[in-house]
């Protein structure tokens, strides 16, 4: 099975940096995804990591360490519109299904 | 363009009603998915279609009946639902069915309320 943990809530100030951690214990691994979801809306794809290291996309970066079962999403220069839930999802190797963590609600304050 | 569309946006139905949710994508994706999401919970996979054939059914009750008429369309037929089925129903699609490095793109969802 898949066990994916991430913090429930985080609060940060506009312009600051926030790091959302995700740890996973899975029976296999075929990649990790981060999605952003605003309240009442669909998840939007942010990043994909399958190899160890850092992937950078503008203000968002994602890191993966497969040996540690650990990933983080780094949000820089926070804006009010970044207030949302951030979902960590792991893809299984055999059936390639996505399993989601419970999500981290990020609140950006002025 | 990574757009998946869903209709209707909102649906209220009684427990004896029959209704359908619709999903459409024109990205040439060959895998389509239905997820159910309760408030403040992550999406839960219900069904996966691969090349218009049902490949995964996550032990979903038979009151939910999926259909894939063609490679661009995915329906979810609803019958005799229960109030606990009220949720946001998300459709997603991806390029290659069940392949690595295969991002799933989500539609805006249908907010379903069962009275």
Phi and psi torsions of B83, nearest 5°: -55, -30
- Per-residue model confidence as pLDDT tens digits over B81-111: 999 999 999 999 998 765 666 789 999 999 9
Please indicate whether, in this complex, the C-beta atoms of A42 and B56 are within 8 angstroms of each other.
no
Given this model, what pLDDT does residue B86 score?
97
Given this model, what pLDDT does residue B2 score?
65
Interface of chain A toward chain B, CB-CB under 8 angstroms: 30-31, 33, 35, 40-45, 48, 50, 87, 89, 91, 93, 95-98, 100-103
Show the CA angle centred on residue A98, arms to residues A6 and B89, nearest 5°. Answer: 95
- Per-residue model confidence as pLDDT tens digits over A20-45: 999 999 888 889 999 999 988 889 99
- Rounded CA gap, B109 and B34, in Å? 10
The pLDDT of residue A48 is above 70: yes
Higher pLDDT, A65 or A2: A65
Q: Which pair of tokens denotes residue B88?
A: 């946001």
Please indicate whether, in this complex, the C-beta atoms of B104 and A98 are within 8 angstroms of each other.
yes
User: DSSP code of A62?
Assistant: E
- Rounded CA gap, A27 and B21, in Å? 34
Please indicate whether, in this complex, the C-beta atoms of A41 and B104 are within 8 angstroms of each other.
no
Q: Nearest chain A Cα to B58, which residue?
A: A97
Determine contact: B60 vs chain A, CB below 8 A: no
HEC per residue, B54-72: EEEECCCCCCEEEEEEECC
- Rounded CA gap, B14 and A1, in Å? 36
* Candidate from A41, A43, A45 with C-beta closest to B43: A43
Given this model, what pLDDT does residue B91 score?
97
- Rounded CA gap, B16 and B82, in Å? 9
The pLDDT of residue A105 is above 80: yes
- Average pLDDT along chain B: 92
Given this model, what pLDDT does residue B95 score?
85
Bond prior to B114 in cis (omega within 30° of 0): no
Residue A55 exposure: Cα atoms within 13 Å on the Cβ side? 17
Interface probe with A: pick from B43, B45, B88, most Cβ of A within 10 Å? B43
Determine contact: B41 vs chain A, CB below 8 A: yes
Given this model, what pLDDT does residue B98 score?
56
Given this model, what pLDDT does residue B97 score?
62
């Amino acid at each position: 099975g898949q066990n994916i943990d991430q913090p429930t809530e985080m609060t940060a100030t506009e312009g600051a940096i926030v790091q959302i951690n995700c740890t996973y214990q899975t029976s296999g691994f075929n990649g990790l995804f981060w999605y952003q979801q605003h309240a009442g809306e669909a998840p939007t794809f942010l990043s994909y990591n399958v190899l160890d290291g850092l992937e950078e996309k503008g203000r968002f970066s994602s890191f993966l360490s497969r040996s540690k079962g650990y990933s983080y999403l780094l949000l820089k220069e926070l804006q009010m519109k970044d207030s949302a839930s951030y979902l960590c999802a792991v893809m299984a190797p055999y059936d390639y299904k996505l399993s989601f963590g419970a999500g981290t609600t990020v609140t950006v304050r002025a | 363009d990574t757009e998946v569309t869903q209709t209707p946006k909102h649906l209220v139905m009684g427990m004896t009603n029959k209704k359908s949710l619709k999903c459409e994508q024109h990205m040439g994706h060959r895998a389509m998915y239905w997820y159910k999401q309760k408030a403040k919970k992550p999406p839960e996979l219900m069904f996966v279609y691969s090349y218009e054939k049902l490949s995964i059914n996550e032990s979903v009750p038979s009151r939910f009946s999926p259909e894939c008429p063609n490679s661009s369309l995915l329906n979810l037929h609803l019958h005799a639902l229960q109030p606990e089925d009220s949720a946001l129903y998300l459709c997603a699609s991806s390029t290659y069915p069940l392949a690595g490095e295969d991002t799933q793109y989500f539609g805006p969802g249908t907010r379903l309320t069962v009275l």
